[in-house]
Amino acid sequence: MSSLHAFEKRLKESVESADKVIIVPHLYPDFDAIGSAIGLSVLVSSFNKDAYILVDDAKESINDKVLDVINSFYGNCKFINLEEYLQIKSNNDVLLVSDTNKKDMVCVSDYLTDFKDIFIIDHHKMDLNTINTDVDNIFVDDMYSSTCSIVSKFLIDFNVLFSSRVATYLYSGIVLDTNHFTKSVDPYTMSIVTKLLEMGADVEKVNNMFKRDNIQNLKIYKLVNKAKLIKYPLGFAGIAIDNDNCYTREDIAIAADSILDCMFQNDSDLSVINDVNASFVIAPVDSNNYRISARSNSSGIDVCKIMEYIGGGGSKHSAAALVPIDTADKVLKKLYTTLQNS
Ligand SMILES: [Mn+2]
């Protein structure tokens, strides 16, 4: 991976010699993926190039508030779907991948070889599924709290002026990936937040973007309530499994965050309260697949390693995997054994 400065230089040069730039956030885009894609489009526009953000997910599979951002976005860049991309593509386009580095997490995976250059901007660990590109075109650093903080840094470094609306979207990605400033909080992230607030990021608007309705809240609460405490060598993990109800990926992720925030009464001695340092939530997302969201804090296990072991990925304290229903039992066993052997 190249240094931040070298990467920025290379990105500018490549964009300036391209026909146009396609920006692709990960599938099932969240605020970090969309916010960073919008930030990148502002950067590309400052280089006087046309930018298109490519989102091809079915509307039903995108979070309502993320969809609001996509639908209400106006500016120099356009949101397009895969079909529209195929109509305008040329062999001198540059692709910017935001908030993922995995081939199977971008809708454009079948056309990667058609781009002049591919740049990856992300904060998840790389693995065998990482998109193949020049090593100097990769800026992937899991020390960053969010992709929005990386992209904000680019904008600041290039002295790009951006609107309060864009600052708001970038801020929303940081709020999401720090779970409202409760994890991955560091002076660097906060210095970026300071800058975004100075640029007019609207905290109340972002608070509203994160509001959940009471029905969703209750559903998540019931899932959290299923959590059972498991002792493992590094402490206690909270594991919630629901085989009967279908959830969104987001619900499962929020439940995993919530379990990590809980203290649990010990089953055998109710006077003992245990803190968990890892959480796992396992539930179906459709009729064929379970989703596992895993979280840990600094004294807990590296959940990325565990999720990689069962075919997923993420970062040290926040990771996930998709598990086909017919292998769910096996995967659970694997999860328990890995935890016990950690
Ligand atoms: Mn992210």
CATH of the domain at 226: 3.10.310.30
Question: Cα–Cα distance between 214 and 288 in angstroms, integer?
Answer: 27
Let me know whether 29 and 173 are in one domain: yes
Lowest-pLDDT range of 10-24, 154-168, 236-250, 256-270? 256-270
Indicate whether this model's pTM tops 0.85: yes
Lowest-pLDDT range of 95-99, 175-179, 188-192, 263-267? 263-267
Among residues 127, 70, 76, which one has the least CA distance to residue 102?
A: 127
Kindly give the distance from the C-alpha atom of residue 79 to the centroid of ligand 1, in angstroms, as a whole number: 19
Q: Domain ends where: 209, 237, 262?
A: 209
CATH of the domain at 33: 3.90.1640.10
Kindly give the distance from the C-alpha atom of residue 265 to the centroid of ligand 1, in angstroms, as a whole number: 33
| Cβ partners under 8 Å of residue 268, min gap 6 | none
Q: What are phi and psi of 161, to 5 degrees?
A: -80, 135
Q: Domain ends where: 209, 234, 262?
A: 209
What mean pLDDT is predicted for residues 199-217?
95
Kindly give the distance from the C-alpha atom of residue 122 to the centroid of ligand 1, in angstroms, as a whole number: 7
Sole residue written with tokens 């400033």: 181
Let me know whether 197 and 233 are in one domain: no
Q: Give the distance between the most distant pair of CA atoms in the chain.
A: 67
Among residues 303, 287, 313, which one has the least CA distance to residue 335?
A: 303
The answer to whether the beta carbons of residues 279 and 259 sit under 8 Å apart is yes
Let me know whether 230 and 142 are in one domain: no
Q: Greater confidence, 77 or 285?
A: 285
So what's the pLDDT on residue 126? 94
Kindly give the distance from the C-alpha atom of residue 251 to the centroid of ligand 1, in angstroms, as a whole number: 16
Let me know whether 11 and 118 are in one domain: yes
Let me know whether 129 and 100 are in one domain: yes
270, pLDDT greater than 80: no
Let me know whether 135 and 108 are in one domain: yes
Let me know whether 262 and 333 are in one domain: yes
How many structural domains does the chain have?
2
Among residues 189, 206, 192, which one has the least CA distance to residue 145?
A: 189
| DSSP per-residue codes, 171-226 | HHHHHHHTTTTTSS--HHHHHHHHHHHHTT--HHHHHHHT---HHHHHHHHHHHHT
Which residues, listed in sequence order, are joined to residue 240 by a DSSP beta bridge? 281
Kindly give the distance from the C-alpha atom of residue 29 to the centroid of ligand 1, in angstroms, as a whole number: 10
- Residue 280 one-letter amino acid: F
Q: Domain ends where: 209, 226, 241?
A: 209
Kindly give the distance from the C-alpha atom of residue 247 to the centroid of ligand 1, in angstroms, as a whole number: 20
